[in-house]
């Protein structure tokens, strides 16, 4: 492993994306309280995309203090319906409420990414994906929740597109990496620009 590149995330899916892309890096969970940061940012009335960027920056900066010589990648994602931002459900009832709110409507995934070195922000980027959820029946919703079990609480939108969650949708606009919360193509481009990858 090298300290040259550090991913400020404990997310297995983000780590896997970077490994599959051939990047050599260390993954370190950021020690930040996301809900507390959101409360601090409330007076700025940020939109969901800007909120994702600021959360990504907070994670990158926190890890950069521990690995000052490294180039730290911070990333975060918000899910929004208009200006309403959702959080992971705590239980089945909250998951049902989230899916009921999304049913028959289009919501957005906002994936922010920030690069930091020596406590200084070098680059920030936001990618979005729009997902149109079909109008499914209440009976389907209950069967879906039964099949997902505890896994339904693992994501903000209560779905994994690589699994049964794909049955919730009519259409999706946006790339796979943005949906998983790591806009990989813009990141690779910036790493090349910074000389971290071969051109």
* Residues acting as catalytic residues: 76
CA angle 119, 124, 125 (to 5 degrees): 160
- What dihedral angle (degrees, nearest 10) is formed by the CA atoms of 86, 89, 90, 95? 140
Residue 148 has φ and ψ, to the nearest 5°, of -75, -35
With the C-alpha atoms ordered 160, 162, 163, 166, is the resulting torsion angle positive or negative? positive
The answer to whether 88 and 153 are in contact (CB under 8 A) is yes
Is 31 in contact with 62 (CB distance < 8 Å)? yes
């Amino acid at each position: 492993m090298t300290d040259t590149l550090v991913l400020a995330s404990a997310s297995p899916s983000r780590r896997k994306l970077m490994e599959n892309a051939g990047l050599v890096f260390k993954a370190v969970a950021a020690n930040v309280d996301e809900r507390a940061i959101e409360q601090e940012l409330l007076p700025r009335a940020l939109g969901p995309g800007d909120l994702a960027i600021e959360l990504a920056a907070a994670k990158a900066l926190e890890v950069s203090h521990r690995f000052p010589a490294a180039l730290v990648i911070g990333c975060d994602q918000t899910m929004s319906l208009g200006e309403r931002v959702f959080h992971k459900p705590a239980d089945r009832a909250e998951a049902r409420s989230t899916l009921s709110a999304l049913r028959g409507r289009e919501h957005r995934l906002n994936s922010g990414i920030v690069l930091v070195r020596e406590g200084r922000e070098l680059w920030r980027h936001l990618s979005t994906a729009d997902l149109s959820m079909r109008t499914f029946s209440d009976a389907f919703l209950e069967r879906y929740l039964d099949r997902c079990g505890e896994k339904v609480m693992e994501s903000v939108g209560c779905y994994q597109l690589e699994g049964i969650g794909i049955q919730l949708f009519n259409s999706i606009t946006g790339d796979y990496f943005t949906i998983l919360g790591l806009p990989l193509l813009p990141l690779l481009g910036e790493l090349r620009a910074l000389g971290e990858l071969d051109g």
